[in-house]
């Protein structure tokens, strides 16, 4: 990325309410991780996140809330996501049980109609990030 280029922008989730909650959690410093499936990244023609990547987090309306930088990415099956990662995602009650239920429902929605149905071996890019600037 050249010095005059903006990093890519995105919102979390697949609906307005959750996207706006997640944007606020990033602003508050509660949400420090995210978990895209490799299948959904492929469907959206997006690369697997890499350490050092920058991105602009927006709310559903596309208004920037923060610039983040990826600090690590671990690829693991859904079934191997652990309590520590669920807590770093900062959503719901931050428990692994909440994470699994919410994310299974999300992956089922975003992968519906694709060649990759949800299962517990679905590969997940467990991305940790830090906020480098609030908008």
Average confidence (pLDDT) over 92-116 = 97
- Write down the pTM of the prediction: 0.93
CATH code of the domain covering residue 105: 3.10.400.10
d(CA 126, CA 119): 17
Domain that residue 19 falls in? 9-130
> Where is pLDDT greater, at 1 or 66?
66
Overall domain count for the chain = 1
Measured CA angle at 100 (ends 109, 24), to 5 deg: 80
Cα–Cα distance list, 106 to 37, 87, 102, 112, 114 (Å): 10, 18, 6, 10, 14
Look at residue 108 and tell me if it is in a domain: yes
DSSP assignment letter at 13? S
Report yes or no: 72 and 19 within 8 Å, Cβ to Cβ. Answer: no
pLDDT band at 3 (very low <50, low <70, confident <90, very high): low
The DSSP-derived string for 46-59 is -PPP-TT-EEEEE-
Look at residue 3 and tell me if it is in a domain: no
Average confidence (pLDDT) over 67-93 = 98
With b for 16 or more beta-carbon neighbours within 10 A and e for fewer, the 62-100 pattern comes to eeebbbbebeebeeeebeebeeebbbbbbbeeeeeeebe
Name the percent of the chain lying above pLDDT 70: 97
Note the pLDDT tens digit of each residue in 20-53.
Answer: 999 999 999 999 999 999 999 999 999 999 999 9
Look at residue 38 and tell me if it is in a domain: yes
Mean pLDDT across the chain: 96
For residue 5, pLDDT over 90 is answered with no
């Amino acid at each position: 990325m050249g010095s005059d280029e903006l990093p890519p922008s995105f919102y979390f989730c697949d609906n307005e309410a959750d996207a706006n909650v997640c944007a606020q959690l990033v602003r508050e410093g509660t949400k420090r991780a995210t978990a895209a499936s490799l299948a959904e990244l492929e469907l959206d023609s997006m690369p697997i996140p890499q350490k050092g990547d920058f991105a602009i987090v927006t709310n559903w309306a596309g208004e920037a809330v923060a610039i983040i930088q990826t600090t690590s990415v671990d690829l693991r099956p859904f079934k191997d996501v652990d309590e520590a990662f669920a807590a770093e995602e900062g959503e719901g009650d931050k428990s692994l049980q909440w994470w699994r239920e919410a994310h299974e429902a999300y992956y089922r929605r975003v992968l519906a109609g694709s060649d990759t149905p949800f299962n517990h071996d679905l590969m997940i890019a467990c991305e940790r990030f830090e906020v480098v600037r609030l908008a």
